[in-house]
Structure 1
Amino acid sequence: DSVRNRHLQWVSKVRVNTQAVLKRAQQIQGHNKNKKQWQAAWLLRAVTCIDLTTLAGDDTPGNVHRLCMKATQPVRNDLLKSMDMQDKGVTTAAVCVYPSRVADAVKSLKAANSSLPVASVATGFPAGQTSLKTRLEEVRMAVEDGAMEIDIVINRTLALTGQWEAMYDEVCQFREACGEAHMKSILAIGELGTYTNVYKASLVAMMAGSDFIKTSTGKESVNATYPVAIVMVRAIRDYFLKTGHKVGFKPAGGIRTAKESLVWLTLMKEELGDEWLSPHLFRLGASSLLADIERQIYHYVTGRYAAYHQMPMA
C-alpha cells in the first residue's frame, strides 16, 4: 500500500512542458537520414516489430487466415534472398485481432507450424465503455482461446476526471485476468486532452503492471503522433530509471508509410536506446504499413517500384 501511495504521489506531481515536447518532435522528424544500404536493414527491422492487425466489422475466418499467412511470410522470398536474409526467419511480431477471431488465428498459425503470438484487443475495445465485469470476462475468454498478448483499453472517463487510483485498480484487475499473457495498455491519447494527462495515464498503466503502453485504438480521430509519443517514451524512461523495470511502446493508428516507420525507429533509438528497437520492447500497430515497406524493399533490390497488385497484400 505504501508503494501505491508513493506511486500516486508521483503521478499527482507531474507537469509536461508542451513547447519542449513539440520542439523535440520536430527534431526527430528531421533526423531520419538513413543511408541506402542501412535503410533496407531498418525496414526489415520495422517489419519484425509489426503487430499485423485486422479490426474490422467484416472480419471472417478467411481474411484472418490470409493475415496470418502474410505475418509468417511478410516479405517476398525472392526479395529476402537478394538481401541474403531468406533463412533469418523474418516474420512480423504478432497478429492482432478481435477476441471472437482469436481461435481462427491460433488455428491458422498452428496449421502453418508458426509460433507467432496472437494478440487480441479486449476490455470493450475501442470505447472501453462496457461494465467492468464484461471487460474482465472478455480478457479471460481471449486468453482461453489462445491469445498470448492482450491489448486492453483504459477507461478514459477515469483519466479525464483525474481518478488515477480507480484507473490503477482497474488496470491491475485486467493484469490479473491476463494471467500469463502479455498486457499492452491502450491510452487512446486522442481522447485524453492534455500531454500531462497522457504522461499520468502512462505512469499509472505501467505501475499497474502493463508490459507495453500503446498510443491509440486506431479508431479515434487523433492516433499516433510524434509529440504524444515523446511524452509516452519519456514516461517509460522515467519509470525505468526509478524502478529498473523496462516497459515497451506501441504506436498504432494511421501509420501507413515505410518512411514513417523509420521515424518511429529513430525516435525509439534516440529516446530509449538500442534495446528498445526489438519486438520485445517495440511494436508498430498497423494493417496497411507492410505493403508499403515491401514495396520500398522491392525498390531497394530492383531499383524500380512495383505496382501494388504485384505485392501479395496483407
Structure 2
Amino acid sequence: MTIRTETAQTHLPQTLEPRNAGVPLDLDQVAGVAVNTSAVERRAGTLPGRRTVKKEFQAAWLCRAISCIDLTTLSGDDTAGRVARLCAKARQPVRADLLEALEMEGLTVGAVCVYHDMVAPARRALEGSGIPVAAVSTGFPAGLSPFHLRLAEIEASVAQGADEIDIVISRRHVLTGDWQALYDEMRAFRAACGAAHVKAILATGELGSLRNVARASLVCMMAGADFIKTSTGKESVNATLPVTLVMLRAIRAYHAATGYRVGYKPAGGISKAKDALVYLSMIKEELGDRWLRPDLFRFGASSLLADIERQLEHHATGRYSAGWRHGLG
C-alpha cells in the first residue's frame, strides 16, 4: 500500500507565500501580551497521551517529519568531509530499499544547517538537489559578539550561498523589556539577509518566562522574521511543548492580524520518533495542515532521523534494527 504524502517541491517560504514584510512595532500590543502558564502546561500535557497514529498513517507522518528536518552539524571539529557525508544523508535520508517499500522515493530533508565556514562545502555537496543550506550566524550561540560583526557574518554567509540564516537574538533585550532594541536588531538582521530567509532563535530556555517567550515571538515577527525558532540547542533547556504552544499561538495571532504566515522551528532535545509525532499533531491542531510543510515547519535535529528510520524499517519489515544501521554519516 502506498503511503505517499504530498510534500511541497520547494522548501523556502518566500517562494510559496508572500514573505513576512513585518509591521511597525506596537508597544501597547506587546505590553498587552499575557500567558496563563498553568493553562498552557495543562494543554501541552494532554497531547502525548491523547494523540496517536498507527500503521501506515504513522509511517506517512514520519516521512513528513523527515521532510521537515534541518539536518545539522554544529561542532568545533566539523570538516568538509563530515559535511559532505551529512549532505549525502540529506539527499537520501532513508535507505533506498525502505523508501522503495514505502513508495517514498525522492524523499529529502528540509535543509542542511552548518556553521559559516561550512556553507561552501555544503553548497557543493548539495548541488542540484534543491535542498537549502542554512547557516547559523550572529555570534551563535550566545549572540554577544559586536553588532557590526554579527551583521558582517550574515552578509558573508549569504555571499557564500546560504539560503537561510539562523540568527540569535540578544536575550538581554527580552530580559530587560527593551522591545524597541529587539525590534531594531531583528530589522537589521532581516535587511542583512537580503533574499535569504531568516529564522530568529529566541533561546527560550534563557528568557525567564512564557510571557517573555510570547512577547519576543511577537516582536521578532513584527520585525520581519520568516521563522521563529526555540533554541540554539546549546542551552540547558531547549524545545518544550509549553514553549511550542505559546509560540504557535503567537504565530496564529500574527497571521490573523497581518495575513503573513510565519514558520516555526523547535530545536534541541527532540530525538525520538514519538516526540516528532507529538509536535506534528500540535502543529496540525493549532495552525492547521498548511504549516505541516517544510516551508513553514522544521525540526532542528539530527539524531531524530536515525530513530525515525528505525521505525520506518519496522513498518516495512516487521523487525526493529540496531541504531548503528542508520548512520548520519
Q: Which of residues 229, 236, 241 in structure 1 aligns to 2:244? A: 229
Distance 2:153 2:137 in 1: 6
Per-residue deviation, 1:236: 0.3
2:112 paired with 1:92 = no
Distance 1:288 1:31 in 2: 25
Listed one character per residue, the Cα deviations across residues 189-234 of structure 1 (whole Å, up to 9, x for unaligned) are 0000011100000000100100100000000000000000000000
Which stretches of structure 1, 4 residues or longer, exceed 6 Å deviation after superposition?
A: none
TM-score of the pair, normalised by structure 2: 0.92
Residue identity in the other structure for 1:271: E
CA RMSD of aligned residues (A): 0.9
Q: 1:4 maps to which residue?
A: 24
TM-score of the pair, normalised by structure 1: 0.96
Q: 2:125 maps to which residue?
A: 108
Distance 2:159 2:220 in 1: 23
User: 1 or 2 for the larger relative contact order (CA 8 Å, sep ≥6)?
Assistant: 2
Identity %: 60
Residue identity in the other structure for 1:303: G
Distance 2:284 2:172 in 1: 33
Q: 2:278 maps to which residue?
A: 263
- What runs of 5+ residues in structure 2 fail to find an aligned partner? 1-22
Q: 1:194 maps to which residue?
A: 209
2:81 paired with 1:66 = no
Per-residue deviation, 1:311: 2.0
Per-residue deviation, 1:170: 0.5
SS at match of 2:125: helix
Per-residue deviation, 1:309: 2.3
Q: 1:239 maps to which residue?
A: 254
SS at match of 2:321: coil
SS at match of 2:126: helix
Q: 1:13 maps to which residue?
A: 32
Q: Which of residues 62, 65, 80 in structure 1 aligns to 2:99? A: 80
Per-residue deviation, 1:32: 2.3
- Contact residue 202 and residue 216 of structure 2 kept, 8 A: yes
Q: Which of residues 216, 237, 259 in structure 1 aligns to 2:231? A: 216
Q: Which of residues 122, 130, 150 in structure 1 aligns to 2:137? A: 122
Q: 2:314 maps to which residue?
A: 299
Distance 1:287 1:136 in 2: 28
Listed one character per residue, the Cα deviations across residues 207-264 of structure 1 (whole Å, up to 9, x for unaligned) are 0100100000000000000000000000000111111111000000011011111111
- What runs of 5+ residues in structure 1 fail to find an aligned partner? none
